[in-house]
Amino acid sequence: EPEVTQTPSHQVTQMGQEVILRCVPISNHLYFYWYRQILGQKVEFLVSFYNNEISEKSEIFDDQFSVERPDGSNFTLKIRSTKLEDSAMYFCASSSRGRGYTFGSGTRLTVV
Amino acid sequence: TQLLEQSPQFLSIQEGENLTVYCNSSSVFSSLQWYRQEPGEGPVLLVTVVTGGEVKKLKRLTFQFGDARKDSSLHITAAQPGDTGLYLCAGAMVGSGGSNYKLTFGKGTLLTVNP
């Protein structure tokens, strides 16, 4: 069964530092997404990416966030200057037609 | 803003019992997806329902999409301890870019099946 792979599984960073979360989507998928889940809260949409550009972003996805597909396999989420409230599980997902998602196992980001 | 309300939030039952969890919204979705999430893991897709009134079965799990495509239910027959987990519903809407679907998740139903 194809998987979405995320690294690292855990990341601890100091407030104000930059972090890059990495994802390898399923190879024949065309749509890529980042979601996040703050402890005890709902899974929330951050951004969708298609055809090498952002197709939609939520109000959470402000100027401190960026996404990139630097090569044919990786999809990254960068947070430029982390805040305490950025602590959450970050999930990458991909889909072929935008209906059935495959999620990765997530990166637990802790900002201290 | 689309909201999905799931009920109940917590459900604890004995092995062999039947149960139904509900997912309700005031918004119409193009499709509705049910996921199961284990602690520390990402959601795993169980089923997607697309057509109003659609019923899908996955072994002992039966999923139904409401006629108006605003609500859905998940029924589990003869629950087993292995069914224990967090069940999430998510409504799919075509994004503003027109070429993607973004998901709006409910808070989930945490099911515990006791042996």
Judged against a pLDDT cut of 80, whether residue B99 lies above it is answered with no
Answer yes or no: do B44 and A45 touch at CB < 8 A.
no
pLDDT of residue A84: 97
Ordered mean pLDDT values, 10 residues apiece, chain A (112 residues): 93 98 93 94 94 91 95 93 97 81 95 98
d(CA A60, CA B46): 27
Q: How confident is the prediction for chain B on average, in pLDDT?
A: 92
pLDDT of residue B27: 87
pLDDT of residue A80: 96
Of A41, A51, A99, the CB nearest to B101: A99
Cα distances (angstroms) measured from residue A51 to each of A55, A99, B109? 9, 17, 35
pLDDT of residue A1: 78
User: Closest Cα partner for A109 from A4, A25, A6, A2?
Assistant: A6
A88–chain B Cβ distance below 8 A for any pair: no
B42–chain A Cβ distance below 8 A for any pair: yes
pLDDT of residue A19: 98
**Chain B, nearest residue to A93 by Cα:** B42
pLDDT of residue B14: 97
**Half-sphere exposure for A60 (CA within 13 Å, toward CB):** 17
Compute the average pLDDT of residues B25-46. Answer: 91
Judged against a pLDDT cut of 70, whether residue B39 lies above it is answered with yes
| A23 phi/psi in degrees, rounded to 5 | -145, 140
pLDDT of residue B95: 66
